[in-house]
């Protein structure tokens, strides 16, 4: 699947450049993006080394296995092929937890560590396993409890309530995550035939019912005003101070807590840290070709004007769902580039105001989905998986669900 996506982006970029006269810009974008990919990989070396060392301490101290046992009911459903006490389960939960808290720098190394653990159980080392794709789906549609980055952007431009998009972000990102799980399960069943896939959907009526009840409960809370009433007794800057506190102390707490627990359990924390950190450089180097490939394709696509073409093409569709056309570039860019989408969303917030409907919806869009292609390139690249199967369709379906949920909930909350 990645072959088709990559070729499509490059081909559209070159063809569009011919008609728009932007061949030089596309060429420069390709060169700049290749350099940027190497820079990103180099910057990851230190972070990778740090967190892989910390993860090694957590493994030796038994924290990863303890965490894996604690979530057995969920892990059995999501990852039936993985033993319930396997280190991969704990590593995946640590990665997802880092994403939930917005700890971007910590999440990537933990995710790569989880992929390496999953690869040890993978029979075909060049083909993504079901567990890998489910993990990638949960990453690309990660639940976001505290969207720290966009809250900081909103506060920087003078928003009256920078953290007001926390509720809408949780709703839309949770919708995207649930959709990712259902999509991956469906594609797994589809590989065994349409009848099997349809039968699986019928057997999943309990999960669909829970999903529907969740949507109904959230709408009830919002429409009756209970959510606002429950939070009215809190100080006006409660969320801002809470987000700031978590942002400052989450990573230092982990860096202290994990070695401290390891030390009390007689783990030679320094030696174990160094042993785990040795892989940081090698992993960062392994992902360079994959980063170069995806970032060059995305850079060419943007520079050629291909993005503008698709914005014009899809504008009638966005009008039908009540999504302002100004937000379409951000929605299209989000699965391709985190920095690119952040730049577009920041510009929208500056232009229309953080507390406008466009500003609030743009902020929610940033927190409800992930950079699908970047995550797939980095995580699969780290373990040399070349055949991604249905990872991209499942991720993009989850992205679409997150975008639709963001439009839906923001229209209820802010219009």
Mean pLDDT of 227-236: 54
- Confidence grade of residue 294 (pLDDT, cut at 50, 70, 90): confident
DSSP bridge pairs for 127: 387
Q: Are 16 and 306 in contact (CB under 8 A)?
A: yes
| 68-82, 174-188, 218-232, 251-265: least confidently modelled range | 218-232
pLDDT digits over 397-406, tens only?
999 999 988 9
CB 132 within 8 A of CB 118: yes
Q: Is the pLDDT of residue 307 over 60?
A: yes
**Cα–Cα distance, 343 to 304 (Å, whole number):** 18
Q: Is the pLDDT of residue 96 over 60?
A: yes
Phi, psi of 127 (to 5 degrees): -120, 135
Separation between Cα atoms, residue 407 and residue 314, nearest integer Å? 16
For residue 1, give both structure tokens. 């699947």
pLDDT score of 41: 81
Triad 285, 4, 135: Cα angle to 5°: 55
Confidence band (pLDDT; 50, 70, 90) for 362? Answer: very high
Residue 146: the pLDDT is 72
Within a 10 A sphere around the Cβ of 255, how many other Cβ atoms?
Answer: 14
pTM reported for the whole predicted model: 0.77
> Which are the contacts of 143, defined by CB distance < 8 A and separation ≥ 6?
96, 99, 100, 170, 173, 174, 177
* Alpha helices per DSSP H over 21-147: 23-60, 63-70, 72-78, 87-100, 104-119, 130-140
The arithmetic mean of pLDDT across residues 234-252, rounded, is: 63
Q: What average pLDDT does the segment 195-210 reach?
A: 63
DSSP three-state, residue 128: coil
């Amino acid at each position: 699947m990645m072959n088709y996506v990559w070729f499509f982006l490059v081909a559209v970029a070159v063809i569009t450049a011919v008609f728009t006269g932007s061949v030089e810009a596309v060429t420069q974008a390709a060169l700049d993006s290749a350099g940027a990919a190497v820079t990103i990989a180099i910057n990851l070396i230190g972070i990778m080394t740090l967190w892989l060392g910390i993860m090694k301490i957590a493994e030796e101290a038994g924290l990863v296995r303890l965490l894996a046992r604690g979530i057995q009911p969920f892990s059995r459903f999501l990852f039936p092929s993985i033993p319930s006490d396997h280190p991969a389960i704990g590593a995946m939960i640590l990665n997802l937890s880092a994403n939930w808290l917005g700890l971007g720098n910590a999440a990537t190394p933990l995710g790569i560590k989880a992929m390496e653990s999953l690869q040890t159980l993978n029979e075909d080392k060049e083909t993504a396993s079901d567990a890998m794709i489910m993990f990638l789906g949960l990453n690309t549609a990660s639940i976001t409890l505290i969207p720290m980055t966009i809250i900081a952007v909103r506060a920087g431009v003078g928003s009256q309530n920078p953290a007001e998009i926390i509720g809408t972000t949780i709703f839309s990102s949770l919708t995207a995550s649930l959709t990712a799980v259902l999509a991956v399960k469906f594609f797994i069943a589809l590989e065994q035939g349409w009848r099997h896939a349809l039968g699986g959907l019928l057997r999943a009526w309990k999960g669909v019912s829970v999903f529907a009840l969740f949507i109904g409960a959230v709408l009830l809370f919002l429409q009756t005003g209970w959510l606002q009433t429950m939070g009215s007794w809190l100080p006006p800057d409660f969320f801002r101070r809470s987000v700031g506190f978590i942002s400052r102390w989450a990573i230092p707490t982990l860096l202290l807590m994990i070695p401290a627990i390891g030390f009390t359990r007689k783990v030679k924390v320094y030696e174990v840290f160094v042993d785990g950190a040795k892989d940081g450089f090698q992993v960062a180097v392994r992902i360079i070709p994959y980063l170069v490939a995806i970032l060059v394709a995305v850079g060419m696509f943007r520079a050629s004007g291909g993005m503008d073409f698709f914005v014009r093409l899809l504008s009638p569709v966005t009008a039908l769902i009540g999504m302002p056309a100004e937000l379409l570039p951000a929605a299209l860019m989000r699965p391709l580039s985190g920095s690119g989408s952040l730049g577009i969303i920041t510009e929208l917030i500056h232009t229309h105001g953080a507390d406008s409907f466009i500003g609030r919806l743009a902020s929610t869009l940033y927190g409800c989905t992930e950079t699908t292609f970047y995550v797939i390139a980095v995580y699969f690249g780290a373990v040399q998986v070349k055949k991604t199967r249905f990872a991209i369709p499942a991720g993009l379906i989850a992205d679409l669900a997150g975008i639709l949920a963001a439009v839906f909930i923001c229209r209820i909350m802010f219009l």
